[in-house]
Amino acid sequence: MGMAKTEKGYGKEYNYAYEALEQELRQSIYARRLRSDQKLHSEMQFARNWKISRSTVRKAFDHLEGEGLIRRVKGSGTFVIPELNRMKRQVAPSKGNIRGRQVLFLSFSTWMSEDSFQEERTFGPIFNGLSKVLNLYRYNLLFSHVNMEWQPPACLLNDDVVGIIFHGYVKPEFWDTYMKHFPCVAIQYAGPEFECNCVKLDNFRWFHQAVWHLYGLGHRQIGYFAITRLKRDEDSFFHERKIAFLAALDHFGLKAKPQWCVEIYRPVNGEITFDYTMPDYSGDIASTMTSPPTAVITESNGIAFYEALRKLGKRVPEDISLITQSNDIFQPYGKVNFTYMCDRLENICTKGAQLMVDILDAAVPVDNITVLVHPKLILGNTTRRIPSE
């Protein structure tokens, strides 16, 4: 597992050993990988596994216990405090000093299901990006998810937070009732009707870089596969992405054939759920293969689209070059090392958290702004050069 290190971050040196252990346990608790009342390893076991001293492990435990995430029972061990009890502890009157420094991250099912939110490749970058800033400034970070029934968490009902960082489409009535009176920072998307700050990916730069790479390899026939979260007229984020793709093609003097632009809409009770098995998109994209493009850009689930192309008899990249997307570093899929656009979700969340701190700690009001974060093109072996037309 971990090794003892000393690193610099945000202008100070810190003992990376205990902070790494503390961060890993905190993330596992919030993501529910550690269950309520689950017993943790002993201090001795953590010390042995992480190659650190017991006093260093104890320091990490002290911080987590102070946050109300774990409890130590003499003679029995250390246990995860159940989520409901954690919330009660965090908003108890005796913890008034904590109540004044609690920031809520609010995830909405309009963007992704709770299972999808808790998936490591999504929750990890969000948690890491937010916590390393908010922890530094001594803000307590809470997480909650709002499903399609639109039931707010108790901390919103009780005004037990000082600010909200949120991710997903919000109904105007929910905003007006529960969020409007708090400082808010949106991640990736904010409805144009809402007055709030937003940190988001630069979608136009995303597609410009992807098309620029393919154009440089000789590709002139480029398709676009996307999985939509909402119906087209309700999904402004997806609509912006589609416009960005078309704008990138236009910049290079290219045109998109309608049959090369596939939009897959697969909600379950109005939300996109996490696929625990490999989804089969071959039927969705089969019509594009009668006269296929030489390259395809996909917004998500590149592995599933890669397998769908193989099922339809198309080799990547010999027949079709493929660029996909990832929130963070995309691990190779067997021998396939994808070319992809890294959305830098952790960096987006770090900037969002810093913006929230600036708002909360400012002596004067901070005007609402939108911050664009540049994506990064990561080269792999799923794109190849072809003779230009």
**CA atoms of 219 and 349, how far apart (whole Å):** 34
For the chain, what is the mean pLDDT? 84
**CA atoms of 17 and 233, how far apart (whole Å):** 49
Whole-prediction pTM: 0.77
Do 127 and 32 contact (CB within 8 A), yes or no? Answer: no
Q: What is the pLDDT of residues 120-175, one digit of tens each?
A: 778 889 988 998 899 888 898 889 999 888 999 888 888 889 999 999 889 999 99
**CA atoms of 153 and 169, how far apart (whole Å):** 17
Do 381 and 336 contact (CB within 8 A), yes or no? Answer: yes
Topology classification of domain 203-344: Rossmann fold (3.40.50)
Do 230 and 266 contact (CB within 8 A), yes or no? Answer: no
Q: What is the pLDDT of residue 1?
A: 38
**CA atoms of 15 and 4, how far apart (whole Å):** 8
Q: Does domain 1-90 have CATH number 3.40.50.1440?
A: no
List every span in the chain annotated with CATH 3.40.50.2300: 203-344
What's the whole-number mean pLDDT along residues 282-304? 91
Residue 147 φ/ψ, nearest 5 degrees = -85, -170
Q: What is the pLDDT of residues 327-343, one digit of tens each?
A: 887 777 778 899 999 99
Q: Which residues does 322 contact at the CB level (< 8 Å), separation at least 6?
A: 295, 296, 298, 302, 305, 306, 309, 316, 338, 339, 382, 383
Q: What is the pLDDT of residue 135?
A: 85
In this structure, are strands 184-187 and 370-373 parallel, antiparallel, or unpaired? unpaired
Alpha-carbon distances of 242 from 59, 187, 191, 320, 321, rounded to whole Å: 49, 19, 17, 21, 19
List every span in the chain annotated with CATH 1.10.10.10: 1-90
